[in-house]
Chain A
Amino acid sequence: MIDTIKNYTKSKAQSYEIFYSENDALNIELNNDETNFVSQGKTAGFGVRVFKDGKMGFSYTNNLSKYREAIDRAVKIAKLNKKDPDFKNFALKKNFTKTNNSDKELESFDAEKFSFFKKEFLGQLKSVNPKIRLSLATYIKNVSNSCIINSEGVDAAEKITANIYEYSIGIKDEGQIQSISLEEGSKKVLHPEIGKEAGERLQQFLNRKKMGSGKFQLLLHPEALSDLLSEAFSFSINAENVQQKKSVYTDSLNKQVMNKAITIIDDARKKNFFSTRSFDHEGTPSQTNKIIENGVLKNFIHSVYTANKQGAKTTGNAYRAINSLPMIMTNNILMEPGKTKDILGEVEDGLFVKSLLGVHTMGRGTGEFSLGVLEGHKVEKGEIKYPVKDVMISGNVFSLLSEVIAISKKCEEGYYGGGFSLPTTLYPKINIVGQKS
Chain B
Amino acid sequence: MTFLKLALANGASYAELMSTEACRNNLEVNDKEVKEISSGDLKTFSARVLYKGAWGLAYSCTENYAELVAHAIRNAKSMSQNIKIDALPVFSKKFKTAYKINPADISLEEKKESLLKLNNLSKGFKKIASLKLIYSDGSTIRKFENTEGSSLEWSDVYTAFMAWAFAKDSNSREDFLKIKRIRGGYELMKDAASATEEVMEKAEKLLKAEYAKGGHFPIIVDQKLAGVFAHEAVGHACEADLVLSDSSILHGKIGQKIGKDNITIIDDGTTKNWGWTPFDSEGVKAQKTVLVRKGILEGFLHTRESATIFKTEPTGNGRAETLANKVIPRMTNTVIEEGDSTFEEMLAEIKKGYYLKGSAGGQVDPTSGEFLFNAQEGYLIENGELKKYAKGVSLTGNILQTLHNIFLVAKDTDYGTGYCGKAGQLVPVSEASPHIMIKDAKVGGK
Contacts and interface: CB of A to CB of B under 8 A. Distances in A.
Interface hub of A37, A42, A57, A172 (most chain B Cβ within 10 A) = A37
A191 interface: no
A374 B76 contact: no
B174 to A, nearest CB: 7
Contacts of A405: none
Contact of A37 (B55, B59, B247): B55
A244 interface: yes
B78 A112 contact: yes
B271 to A, nearest CB: 27
Interface in B31-45: 31, 33-34, 36-44
Contact of A80 (B40, B83, B108, B246): B108
B384 interface: no
Given A43-B60, A358-B362, A392 B75 contact: no
A111 B79 contact: yes
A216 to B, nearest CB: 13
Given A45-B61, A166-B424, A77 B38 contact: yes
Contact of A27 (B60, B112, B326, B392): B326
A121 to B, nearest CB: 16
Interface string A219-232: 00000000000000
Contacts of A77: 37-39, 108
A394 B392 contact: yes
Given A25-B324, A38-B78, A245-B130, A371 B61 contact: no
B61 A63 contact: yes
Given A43-B60, A60-B40, A36 B79 contact: yes
Nearest to B443: A433
17 contacts: A31-B244, A41-B59, A59-B38, A61-B42, A62-B42, A77-B39, A110-B78, A111-B79, A135-B246, A136-B241, A136-B423, A176-B368, A177-B246, A245-B130, A357-B396, A366-B173, A392-B214
Given A178-B367, A361-B361, A433-B396, 18 more contacts: A29-B326, A31-B241, A31-B244, A36-B54, A38-B55, A39-B59, A41-B324, A45-B61, A81-B37, A244-B31, A358-B394, A360-B361, A363-B175, A366-B174, A392-B372, A394-B446, A433-B215, A433-B442
B229 interface: no
Interface residues of B, number: 82
B61 A43 contact: yes
B377 to A, nearest CB: 12
- Chain A, interface size: which category? 35 or more
Given A40-B71, A115-B79, A358-B374, A244 B423 contact: no
B76 A38 contact: yes
A25 B61 CA distance: 13
A49 B129 CA distance: 29
A39 B57 contact: yes
Contact of A361 (B54, B360, B365, B370): B360
Contacts of B38: 58-60, 77, 323, 325
Interface string B394-413: 10111000000000000000
Contacts of A112: 78
A29 B424 CA distance: 11
Contacts of B71: 40
Contacts of B433: none
Nearest to B57: A39
Interface of B: 24, 30-31, 33-34, 36-44, 46, 54-61, 71, 75-76, 78-79, 81, 83, 107-109, 112, 129-130, 132, 166, 168, 172-175, 211, 214-216, 241-242, 244-247, 324-326, 360-365, 367-368, 370-374, 392-394, 396-398, 423-424, 442-446
Interface in A133-166: 133, 135-136, 138, 140, 166
Given A37-B55, A365-B175, A135 B247 contact: yes
A195 interface: no
Interface string A11-41: 0000000000000010101011011111111
Contacts of A370: 214, 374, 392-394, 444-446
A248 interface: yes
A200 B57 CA distance: 35
A60 to B, nearest CB: 4
Contacts of B246: 32, 133, 135, 170, 172, 177
